[in-house]
């Protein structure tokens, strides 16, 4: 890449998303479009990164709203003419502790799948054409060990299924993306964020590292894989 590398990070006003945006923007030649639903929080996060001398802009995005995704994709195409990296970080976990399938709420399933699965799908559909135009792209989907079929367990069924489905989406998208476009999914592990809680063993910097690595893979890098700590793990 000799031109400015345009990067979109979703759900980036705090936590892992903000740290991914920070680490990517620290790399030479990368311009980050930091997105979030809450405009005040998103603007504030982008401003903090700009104060550190980083090349970051804010754009509002609600991944559950097709119109919002369309506005973002048109802005990126019109303003930058390209999108090189997409990090689908935005996600929710809204079920009560101890929720099981038999007592889970359909409305929570719908909200969870709309955000955690259909959100990344909407973004991929909107921005993949810009990647194909330049035959270069990196798509990183932020998943979870809770979506790992190899160790699937009980609790938080909607969240687990949404992340397992996101992993499947990653594999299909990797097969269809086209020349020069690498698509992978990763788990940050249990991280000290608002979602993970203060007792989590991993820092946000540790949680963001593999996503940043996947976002900046060389031409011969892997595609269609599930990673943690830069190592491929079982689906």
What is the DSSP code (8-state) at residue 117? I
Q: How many CA atoms lie within 13 A of 207 on its CB side?
A: 25
Q: Catalytic residue, from 25, 113, 138, 159: name it.
A: 159
Task: Find out whether 196 and 188 touch, Cβ atoms under 8 Å.
Answer: no
Asked whether 62 and 73 are in contact (CB, 8 A), the reply is no
- Which residue is listed with tokens 């069924």? 157
Measured in whole angstroms, the distance separating CA 186 from the mean position of its chain's CA atoms is: 9
> Which residue in 77, 78, 168 sits closest to 126, CA to CA?
77
3-state secondary structure of 22: helix
Write the CB contacts of 160 (distance below 8 Å, at least 6 apart in sequence).
Answer: 146, 147, 152, 153
Angle at 225 between CA 218 and CA 187, to 5 degrees: 100
Active-site residue flag, 58 = no
- Annotated catalytic sites, by residue? 159
């Amino acid at each position: 890449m000799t031109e400015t590398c345009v990067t979109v990070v979703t759900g980036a006003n705090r936590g892992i998303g903000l740290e991914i945006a920070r680490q990517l923007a620290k790399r030479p030649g990368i311009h980050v479009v930091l997105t979030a639903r809450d405009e005040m929080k998103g603007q504030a996060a982008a401003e903090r990164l700009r104060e550190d001398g980083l090349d970051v802009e804010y754009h509002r995005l609600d991944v559950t709203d097709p119109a919002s995704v369309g506005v973002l994709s048109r802005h990126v195409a019109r303003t930058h003419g390209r999108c090189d990296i997409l990090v689908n970080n935005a996600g929710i976990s809204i079920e009560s502790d101890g929720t099981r399938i038999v007592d889970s709420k359909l409305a929570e399933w719908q909200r969870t799948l709309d955000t955690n699965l259909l959100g990344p799908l909407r973004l991929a559909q909107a921005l993949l054409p810009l990647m194909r135009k330049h035959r270069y792209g990196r798509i990183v989907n932020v998943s979870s060990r809770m979506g790992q079929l190899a160790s699937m367990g009980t609790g938080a069924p909607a969240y687990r299924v949404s992340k397992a489905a996101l992993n499947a989406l990653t594999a299909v998208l990797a097969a269809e993306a086209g020349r020069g476009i690498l698509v992978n999914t990763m788990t940050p592990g249990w991280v000290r964020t608002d979602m993970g809680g203060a007792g989590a063993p991993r820092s946000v910097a540790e949680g963001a590292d593999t996503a940043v690595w996947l976002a900046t893979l060389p031409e011969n890098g892997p595609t269609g894989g599930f990673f943690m700590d830069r190592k491929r793990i079982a689906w």
